[in-house]
Chain A
């Protein structure tokens, strides 16, 4: 294995690590929310430092690889994709961190029924599933698996679009708990962003493997194009 291959391998491992880290952050977040586990919430906030540190390391390593090795073709796409994935995942981690902060700020246990009613559990499950898919797609370099993520993101968008009106209805019915509903509404917004960022990561994977640029495309025309090819 050449020097460059070694460096790319290490970069790959680091990307997988940050992916795994933020997935764990999300999973912990879901649990902390449902069971109101303050310690778990603190744990998430503490781990944010690890995510940030890893993001800085990956950025620096990408810069060095570009400067020292002038990679081309798939190697170049890999490094560029890694830079973007790195940035997206760090922001994903930020969102998980914010949710943990909301849990602590609100400070009370929340009825699981409410959480389910607002479809937050659904969102969490979908988001975590998406991250798992991207993770295994990344390891297997399987772009088919990566593409599955796009349709799942639809669900999150859907829930998000209805969130404003359904939350408003809930507040009208139960004005005492407006604070709770506001927090939960914010969490919905965050989870939608999480879904977007995960979708971006999937797009970068397809870019680096197939050199196809999928971002900014709508799903239907994408399907049509794929069928054409």
Chain B
């Protein structure tokens, strides 16, 4: 056949491949979620949410786990947000462009790829032992902050870079100082991107298991933590713990806990999408 016909065939072929790939991904995801829901749906109840874990599957609940998750969420956010955004602003706005700064940029990005268990080890030595924080929420939050800091820094820098330099020029030409320009123009314009990055990073932190296990988050915690220095557990650990038990009921508990964890994750991502949408409307370069 002629060239045009051949091209059209290629077009069609590519379309089919693309659609198939998407469908495969979606179908697999749907199967997994459907399976989990099917397994755990019946176990979900107010009791389940408010009960402490126990040796008996039908009495076990995720109270301490999701309280722990919320604590970790809040503490990690409080620590990593100002640190990460601040570092991102500093590196992007005040850093001099030199070989050192490019080196730094590459390495920060690399840090995001380091296995999270390594952060756990770091946290164990520095926060738990040297700083004597023990197996506390604070130690866990600090460790997770370290983990997600590179992500926040990188996304902050990207968001700031996306602000056109013409805005910077205009602000500076009116006599604004560097900080005024950042505070009044750059940050408001990039906050959408920054927040999206922060929320996605924290969503990841919410699902981390390995580093928290390493720093000593327990699997069996019969009480809800009252302060940052208390011991704790989180949903992923609880899930992990239940999945390894032989009784089938615990597996169902795990499924129910997974649903809760998924819900939390979806809500976090939903907020990110919403914020991005809201800020994107205003800022139309």
A–B contact at 8 Å CB threshold (below): no
